Amino acid sequence: MIVLGLTGSIGMGKSTVAAMFRRLKVPVFDADAVVRELQSPGGAALGPIAAAFPGVVVDGVLDRAALGQEVFADSDRLETLEDIVHPLVAVARTRFLFRYRTRELVVLDIPLLYERGGDDDCDLVAVVSAPEDVQRDRVMARPGMTAEKFEAILAQQIPDAEKQALADIVIQNGGSTIATWRAVKEIVAGL
């Protein structure tokens, strides 16, 4: 089995590329989806988050905006959240890899792959990239996004140029969807 790490900075279109791998019947582990599940009502992370961040869980539901305010400006609080969530995500990733152990190719869709050392668990890494203006337009179009939030998120991520330099594969996703689709098909065929 080849484990392909898929990453990219915010707004690069990584989710779009992950969906393309799925269309080609490649199993994709979506770290963001796992985090949302862990933080949903009854999720394994919800209780520990409520204990560590009083007031962010109301009637069994996580107030993501309140949690975001707690962690984005405070690296210690962010580390506390990561200490709760990351081990649970690692367990889910291990289960995913075991489930698909007979497949030729699987994808680990992890936004902070390089930042958290997850590339060590991958045979190859593909970085999704787009021009800065395209990235900014995509991100600023998101509900509730501000320039300050965008800059704070970028500050937590390795710059795109560095990710590209580290990557085994770079998928350009700033042009046509057809070009990106062709690139993904070529990767799957090649692996």
Q: How many angstroms separate the CA atoms of 158 and 9, rounded?
A: 8
Q: What is the pLDDT of residues 6-38, one digit of tens each?
A: 999 999 999 999 999 999 999 999 999 999 999
Task: Please provide the average confidence, as pLDDT, over all residues in the chain.
Answer: 93
Indicate whether 140 and 188 sit together in one domain.
yes
pLDDT reading at 73 higher than 80: no
Which range marks the domain in which residue 38 is found?
34-99
Query: What is this structure's pTM?
Result: 0.89
Q: What is the pLDDT of residue 189?
A: 94
> End of a domain among 99, 125, 145?
99
Please give the pLDDT value at position 92: 96
Into how many domains does the chain fold? 2
Query: What is the CATH classification number for the domain harbouring 130?
Result: 3.40.50.300
What's the CA gap between 76 and 82, in Å, rounded? 10
Q: Which of 55, 77, 99 finishes a domain?
A: 99
